[in-house]
Amino acid sequence: MDKPEISPRQVAAAIARGALFIDIRASHERASGQAESASAIEQRDLDRDPAQHLPERSREIILICQRGGRSLSSARRLAEAGYANVWSVAGGTDAWREAGLPMVRPELDPGSADFLERYSRHLLLPEVGESGQRTLAASRVLMIGAGGLGSPAAFYLAAAGIGHLRLVDDDVVERSNLQRQILHSEAAIGQPKVDSAARTLGALNPRTQVQAIRERVGPENIDALMADVDVVLDGADNFPARYLLNDACIKHAKPLVYGAVQRFEGQVSVFDAGRQRGQAPCYRCLFPEPPPAEFAPNCAEAGVLGVLPGIIGLLQANEVIKLLLGIGRPLTGRLLQFDALGMRFRETHLRPDQRCPLCAPGQAFPGYVDYQAFCASPA
């Protein structure tokens, strides 16, 4: 038979005559409900060693997955391995549910059930899976800024299951922020941004711990803020903070996910010179000195398209997740520039400056400087 399938309504009769009914989905898929009477053997375990789980090759076996594709593949593999009577439920658990047949939920403690259901789409990705999701849950991210870039980045990092977000900002919510800073609402006007952000993120994902710190980042507190974090996300809107974060990340050997926006253009990169001396550039390799103020006005002076920080902030969040999981190719050594009006991305390759005063091989950390004065001096 080309397709060894049976309908959901035929399963009860098969079980009555002694068939073994098996749900081959992963545990996180079964957490939201499975067909009544089905036992659980994950597909990877069944395919790897079917004899261990199914010693009777002559017994009738019925497999079910989510939509029928995986169970059909496993049924064919079992047939090739000498199992004489193997069936796949057409349409899988979705068809079973649509037919109104009884469902049951596995007995799980509330925390495990929440974890498996909340992150079910991540758990389906081999590059993430349960171990990767546990890694995210154990991760700590320092975010400087709860404004235009920090808002979308924090939203998606919390949704993704980052265990600890250390959010630092000394500002309060203003009505002009609401055009782009989506962590905040009309009701939060006048309140500290970090408090508003913590409430919003807590409502989204109570599993993520948000440490709200209402401070302005500076040389006097940066070392304490860097303690125990895995990645730093730059959501700052000024050059003194950017140079400080770069220098601190080199000192503490932490990757820095950089983002910046102005008017209709934005850019993203990963500066990881602290861990990859001589191989990866730092922010100072790209910008040895800050530009004159007239060439780099801030958003309050030059304006910014409201959706632009959302696009750049999400790209930053993507880089953070890749770095934490060790997957994909981070933007290390690459500057990704985005033109919202032309809807174009452009990539520029960056090389480390072998004479950089901060990240050159063998260069001792020179200490923090007066970044306000440094950025106020002529370039």
Of the listed ranges 28-37, 91-100, 154-163, the one predicted with least confidence? 28-37
Residue 55: pLDDT over 50: yes
For residue 369, tell me if it sits in a domain. Answer: yes
Q: Is residue 113 part of a domain?
A: no
Both 88 and 143 in a single domain?
Answer: no
**76 with 152, same domain?**
no
265 φ/ψ angles, rounded to the nearest 5 degrees: -130, 145
CA distances from 140 to 153, 210, 225, 237 (A): 14, 10, 11, 22
**Residues 77-87 pLDDT 10s:** 999 999 989 99
Summarize pLDDT for 311-353 with one digit per residue, the tens.
Answer: 999 999 999 999 999 999 999 999 999 999 999 999 999 999 9
- 251 and 354 in a single domain? The answer is yes
pLDDT of residue 348: 97
Regarding whether 318 and 362 lie in a shared domain, the answer is: yes
Give tens-digit pLDDT for 198-229: 999 999 999 999 999 999 999 999 999 999 99
Confidence band, pLDDT 50/70/90 cuts, at residue 299 = low
Q: In this structure, are 311 and 272 located in the same domain?
A: yes
Total number of domains in the chain: 2
Q: For residues 171 and 339, give the distance between their C-alpha atoms in angstroms, rounded to a whole number.
A: 28
Q: Which of residues 164 and 28 earns the better pLDDT score?
A: 164
Q: Which of 73, 108, 143 is the last residue of a domain?
A: 108
249 pLDDT band, cuts 50/70/90, is: very high
Q: State the average pLDDT for the chain.
A: 93
Confidence of residue 298 (pLDDT cuts 50, 70, 90): low
Structure tokens at 234: 């730059």
Alpha helices (runs of H) in 86-187, residue ranges in sequence order: 92-98, 110-118, 120-123, 129-137, 150-160
Average pLDDT estimate for 257-264: 96
Q: At 44, which CATH number?
A: 3.40.250.10
**Domain range for residue 33?**
5-108
Q: How far apart are CA 75 and CA 71, in angstroms?
A: 6
Of 57, 86, 108, which residue sits at a domain end?
108
Do 214 and 131 lie in one domain? The reply is yes
- Tens digit of each residue's pLDDT (9 = 90 or more) over 127-143: 999 999 999 999 999 99
| Identity at 326, one-letter amino acid code | G
pTM (2 d.p.): 0.85
Give the CA diameter of the chain: 87
Residue 211 shares a structural domain with residue 333: yes
Specify the pairing of strand 86-89 against strand 39-40: unpaired
Whether 103 and 128 map to the same domain: the answer is no
pLDDT tens-digit readout, 142-154: 999 999 999 999 9
The answer as to whether 104 is a domain residue is yes
CA distance 372 to 18: 78
Looking at 57, 83, 108, the residue that finishes a domain is 108
What proportion of the chain, given as a percentage, has pLDDT over 90? Answer: 86
CATH for 367: 3.40.50.720
One domain, residues 137 and 259:
yes
